[in-house]
Amino acid sequence: MDATLRQMTAYIAVARAKSFTMAARDLHQSQSSLSRAVADLERQFGVQLLERDTRNVQLTAAGVEALRVAEHIVDTHHRGMRELSRYLAGESGVVVIATLPSVAARLLPPIISAFRDRWPGVSVRILDGLEGAVLEHVTSAVADFAVTTVTGRHLRLEHEPLVKDRFHAVLPPGHRLTAQSEISWAELAGEPFLAVGRNSSVRRLTDAAFLEAGLDVSPAAEASSVATVGGLIAAGLGVTAMPALVLPLIGPGLACRPLVGPVLERRLGIVHQLRRPAPVATGRFVDLLRERQVALPAGVAWD
C-alpha cells in the first residue's frame, strides 16, 4: 500500500462530513477530485471504505479503522512539519556548546540566561572538558561550536577572539608572598609548584610562561583536577598559577595575586567548523556572545 497524504486528507474530509459535497467545499476542491482520491485509496487497500447512495455516505467497518489510522498519520505529519518550521525559525531545538569547565561555570551562565529569556523553546547543552576533547567535539560535529583556547592552526576550524583571561598566583592563606600586590613568575618558581595535568590548556600556558622567563620548574606534584590542586594548596603543600576564570573553582580561602614578568593571558575564542552552516538558534546564541554585553569577573576582559 502506498497511500498519499492527499488521498488520506481527502478521505478524512469525506468520512467526517459524510458528504462529498461538503468535503469538497471544506477543502476547496472539486467533488470529482475527491471522488477519485477516495476511489484510488479503496483500490490500494482492496476494500470498500464508504457506502454511497444518492443522499448519504456511510463508513464500512474497514472505513472506520481506515479513518482512525489516516487521522493519526495526517496529524503526525502536520505536527512534525510544525516542529520542523519552529526549528528552522530558531524557535526550538538544542544549542550544543563545547567548552572548558571554567568557561562553562563563569562565562556562559549569564549568556544562557539572556538567551533563554528571548527564546525559551530552545535548550542549551554544554559539553565541558579539556582543550583537546572540546576541539574534537567541534571537528566531529557533536557540538555546534566551542568557546575554548586553540593550540596552533586547525585547517578545519575557524577561531574568533572573545575574551582574555589573566593568570594569577594562587597561594595558601598567610603565605609570605601575599604581602605583595603582584608576584613574578620567578618568585613563584621559588616555591613548590603544584601543576594541573599535561592535557590541560592551563598546564601548556604555565609551562610556556616559565620557559619565557628562563625558569626551569619541575612540579612538586600534579593533579588532573583543579579542585585537587586547590586542596593541596590549602594544605600548605605549594602554590600554583591559574587564569582568573578558574579561580572560583579551585577552592575557598586561598590567596590570589596577579602574575607579572611576564603578564600571561589565556585567550579564549569562539571556534566552529569552516563553511558549516549553523542552525538559526545557534547563530543567535553566538550573536549574544559577540555583543559582549555581559559583565566579566576581575582579571577577565573582552578581547
Q: How many CB atoms lie within 10 A of CB 260?
A: 16
Q: What is the pLDDT of residue 297?
A: 86
**What percent of the chain shows pLDDT beyond 90?**
75
The mean pLDDT value for 144-163 works out to 85
Inform me whether the pLDDT recorded for 152 exceeds 70. Answer: no
Q: What is the pLDDT of residue 1?
A: 60
Indicate the average pLDDT of the chain.
92
Q: What is the pLDDT of residue 156?
A: 82
Please give the grid coordinates belonging to residue 102: 571554567
Q: What is the pLDDT of residue 232?
A: 96
Domains of the chain: 5-88 (1.10.10.10), 93-163+266-302 (3.40.190.10), 166-265 (3.40.190.10)
Q: What is the pLDDT of residues 26-84, one digit of tens each?
A: 889 998 998 899 999 999 999 999 998 767 889 999 999 999 999 999 999 999 999 99
Q: Would you give the DSSP letter of residue 219?
A: -
CA dihedral 52, 56, 61, 63 (to 10 degrees): 70
Q: What is the pLDDT of residues 178-224, one digit of tens each?
A: 999 999 999 999 999 999 988 888 999 999 999 989 999 999 999 98
**Alpha carbon distance 278, 274 (integer Å):** 10
Q: Which has the closest alpha carbon to 88: 283, 272, 287, 291?
A: 283
**Alpha carbon distance 161, 303 (integer Å):** 6
| Amino acid code (one letter) for 127 | L
**Alpha carbon distance 267, 167 (integer Å):** 11
Q: How many CB atoms lie within 10 A of CB 9?
A: 20
**Alpha carbon distance 32, 22 (integer Å):** 13
